[in-house]
Structure 1
């Protein structure tokens, strides 16, 4: 038997008791505190009489309504809300169960049919599309007796907890492998930093602008995760009306630096000819006896980053923890001392790092694939259990 959801839960109901709390602090849930798979964080608070937020009560079901958080199925039961009532971002719907097991309702809202249908009824434009309260309230939910709902919820609690524990182990493995990659880089390139000549004798800043001739070149971006890449390769296309004539020219082999993120790894050696933001820095080796890939790797080591942090410029004191809007000066970077060995040694260093890092990347890819499959298994299990596609075993 199925019923419209409005018959078993109130959608966005009032919480009258909040009115009597005045400016007492209550739990506040911003969207970033609503995590996948029912996880949430409760460290935020706001005065109870703060206007303009969604209200909730302990035990309510919280459901994000905006893309892409909705599609991620970030639904949970707020049965552990630290305060009896609270506030939440307006980007969630709040459901108050009436004669239905709250955990079962939360699992229903994470089933694939609900998420798939929701994607077809999102209202809005671009990345600001939402499912409406009316759509939620008219969803058809399978309802038998509450004891069966509790049995399904208990089963899914057990099974998803097992899957989540396996996923967490793989996340830990990925984190350890990434740390290993950083350690390998530091071991190979770190000893070169802090002695020898100043880096300015090996590289120089280049400030060549696109002008009208090169303004149609590919626009490059620099990130901590990908290094230097073409925006178009990641599905980001420059508006044809945007003026890029003032952008900086990048040649293959140039080291491109995001000056606000360099000390976090926002730099890399470009394989492409293209343009980059005028706020970025472009460095080019002075002669053929310097390998720019080697230079970029050295600049990402912990010891070199420490040298950069000590030279940060911005508002506040000059240290990595208190400079606001920090920027790295390329002239300061070029003053850091680096011992540059012969070209064949540089290339050997790069080859050693790339070999060891490739092995680490392969292990990371396997772990991430395991995580992906486990997440698919969890989603399929939730759908199958709630929709009656599998028999729910009785707990021993």
Structure 2
């Protein structure tokens, strides 16, 4: 398909000539809407990952009509805005803009306003000291110039994008289902590897040589260089390998508390205050690091038990259930050191333990590589989707035969 501009001239206009701010309040019975970067304006209760609570008093919420442009002032620079297809109410922190020229195609303008080129303009016009404080106000937003084709061409471009983005979205959904299947298969491999050993029958305390948690106050010693400091966010969720950013600490000579929790090769770590179920085994550059108070350090009798065997077992469905059940019942989800001691683990010869751990290292690495490859494909497809929309709504794709 040609990348020349459409033959009919596009008209340059400003957003301030297309929309005007509106504030219609007092419709508390209406459906609550929200604005999402990936979805635009949708019913708030349609998302299960929405953690912002809706207040009981909705009298200050603003009415939105289909065709209105709703802008999250604080996240416009991320693309959190869109033309609404719903009637409802939104937070007073949002900007609600009503069209003054209703002849445009909603789908076209929705795609244009959420295109990469326009999002860059929102970022340039947002004010604030740092991105987390940026806000886009209408006085700045209304000066943004856009180029619009004739209404017939708008519809042709919107129809084209509906078809092409639907194909990409279907492909992404298929790849996401593949990732779910791979992760289910991965969990099955882990569970199956321990199935022949029978129910866990021995408490971990039988193999523990040393068990502790980190001390407090490490933030006072954060530095750009020094010794590594392992935080709870460094613990993995699906394997035993340390992950994430590295924080360093520089301890004064008179501070000796850290030596109690200096990590050794083969130490088994448990998350005890958050991300319950996370475990890791220390090796390589993390030997000699210090550990935070949110992590339990478990040093095992290595001649009797392999720490990676125990670590992998804790990632089985049975192991995860134990870790989560140990933290249940209190007002704060956390594990005590006695909960760690009381964990029940299966028994096997040290040779069999090492074989199982090595097998899981290999098999999960293969599945993880497939997941990573699929995630890269999804990211590429999303980038292609964004590029396609931007090209179409800025006249870089010739759709004359569809106009």
TM-score range, shorter chain: 0.7 to 0.9
Deviations 1:59-86 (A, max 9, x none): 322333435x732x3443321x2xx341
3-state secondary structure, aligned to 2:173: helix
Q: Which residue in 2 is equivalent to 1:26?
A: 30
Conserved in 1, the CA contact under 8 Å of 2:212 and 2:337?
A: no
If asked which structure has higher relative contact order (CA below 8 Å, sep 6+), I would say 2
**Cα displacement (A) at 1:240:** 10
Partner SS, residue 373 of structure 1:
helix
Equivalent residue in structure 1 for 2:339, among 332, 345, 354: 332
d(CA) in 2 for partners of 1:325, 1:184: 32
Corresponding residue number in structure 2 for 1:253: 266
Task: Give the 3 Å change call, closer, same or farther, for CA 313–371 of structure 1 in structure 2.
Answer: closer
Judge conservation of contact 1:65–1:93 (CA < 8 Å) in 2: yes
1:267 to 1:65, Cα distance in 2 relative to 1, 3 A: farther
Give 3-state SS (helix, strand or coil) of 1:383's partner: helix
1:124 is the counterpart of 2:128: yes
Indicate the residue corresponding to 1:302 in structure 2: 317
Gaps of at least 5 residues in structure 1 are 316-323
Aligned match for 2:162, one of 135, 157, 164: 157
Q: Normalised by the size of structure 2, how large is the TM-score?
A: 0.79
Shift of 1:336: 2.9
The superposition leaves residues 167-211 of structure 1 with CA deviations (integer Å, 9 ceiling, x where unpaired) of: 111111111111111111111135547344221112241357599
Match of 1:198 among 183, 199, 203: 203
In structure 1, the partner of 2:18 is 8
Aligned residues: 367
Q: Does residue 275 of structure 1 match 2:302? A: no
Deviation at 1:313, TM superposition (A): 4.5
Q: Deviations over 1:15-43 (max 9, x none)?
A: 2xx33x4xx43222356xx2514473432
For 2:3, the equivalent position in structure 1 comes to: none
In the other structure, the counterpart of 2:5 is: none
Partner of 1:87: 90
| Cα displacement (A) at 1:373 | 1.2
Q: TM-score, normalised by structure 1?
A: 0.81
| Distance 1:191-1:200 versus aligned 2 partners, 3 A rule | farther
Within the candidate set 163, 178, 182, 1:177 is matched to 182
Say if 2:392 is the partner of 1:385.
yes
Structure 2 gaps, min length 5: 1-10, 47-53
Deviates more, 1:37-46 or 1:346-355: 37-46
Coordinate RMSD, CA, aligned: 3.3
8 Å contact kept, 1:123–1:130? yes
